[in-house]
Amino acid sequence: MSKNKQLQCGARTVDLSAPLVMGILNVTPDSFSDGGRFNSVNTAFAQARQMVAEGAAFIDIGGESTRPGAQAVSSQEELDRVLPVVEKIHGNLDVAISLDTSNPELMREGAKLGAGLINDVRALDRPGALEAAAETGLAVCVMHRQGEPQTMQQAPHYDDVVAEVSGYLAAKVEACVAAGIQRENIVLDPGFGFGKNLQHNVTLMANLTALLELDLPLLVGVSRKTMIGETLNKPVDERLYGGLALAVLSAAQGARILRVHDVAPTVDALRMTHAVLQAKQ
């Protein structure tokens, strides 16, 4: 487990001594699970309020779908989708706000409106993103991926998926620190489903503790993903139980943040897991 017991998310300090839930809030028309359900400020805020009531410590707001095959949106469209929701949540809810974005402009503007974490599936690779993230002073989550969302699932290949993901994330941490981001403000995401087939995903899940050697908090996002559907032969809306199993396995191996659609059941599963782990002698 990472020695980092706290994460400074802007003005908010988040306690990572127990595993926490990050609620997914997609303000997009085309996300794979809930596209179009929360793409107005009022419906998005109502969903955020519900997730906070259910125990979410973070709300992760995304204005551009990154599902396999997803198409890019313009910077302005992403800003228009996300910023009003950030402002509304920051003004009304007691929760850390995460920006699910690769857009440097959204990083800067979201920080001004109260966001505390930048969660970038492209690991700050877009031109200007690394500099923008450093300027904000916010915590950042960098994720491993192979390829881009449009093509990443066509033929992913690894010689050693655990070693390659770990090496990639270690290099990204070095780049972040060199750009002026505080090391203790970095979170790592192994990127389940992002340029990985089922065997890659389950191997990574079985060996999560290898990533703890980087001594930074781990965020895991497997909620409703294809790895569950392929294993259990279940459609997207019937993957809760598989997702809970993976959340428990992740927490038992030291993950600190679980990014999920189904907040209440995941909060219960993690609290129970943590209670048992705390009693281990």
Q: Where are the domains positioned within the chain? A: 6-278
12: pLDDT strictly greater than 90: yes
1: pLDDT strictly greater than 50: no
Encoding tokens for residue 212? 């703890």
Whether residue 142 contacts residue 124, with contact meaning beta carbons closer than 8 Å, is answered with yes
Q: What is the pTM of this model?
A: 0.93
Of the options 3.20.20.370, 3.40.640.10, 3.20.20.20, 2.60.40.1120, the CATH number for the domain spanning 6-278: 3.20.20.20
pLDDT computed for residue 267 by the predictor: 98
For 183-241, the pLDDT digits (tens) are: 999 999 999 999 999 999 999 999 999 999 999 999 999 999 999 999 999 999 999 99
Of 129, 122, 172, 123, nearest to 150 (Cα)? 122
For 65-92, the pLDDT digits (tens) are: 776 666 778 899 999 999 999 999 999 9
CB-based contacts of 55, cutoff 8 Å, min separation 6? 21, 263, 264, 267
CA 224 to chain centre: 14
35: pLDDT strictly greater than 70: no
* Higher-scoring residue by pLDDT: 281, 179: 179
Rounded to 5°, angle at Cα 228 from 227 and 234: 125
Structure letter (DSSP) for residue 252: H
For 92-139, the pLDDT digits (tens) are: 999 999 999 999 999 999 999 999 999 999 999 999 999 999 999 999
Residue 141's SS3 state is strand
By annotation, the residues acting in catalysis are 225, 259
* Sequence-ordered alpha helix ranges (H) in the chain: 41-53, 75-92, 104-112, 129-136, 161-178, 198-206, 226-232, 240-252, 263-278
18: pLDDT strictly greater than 60: yes
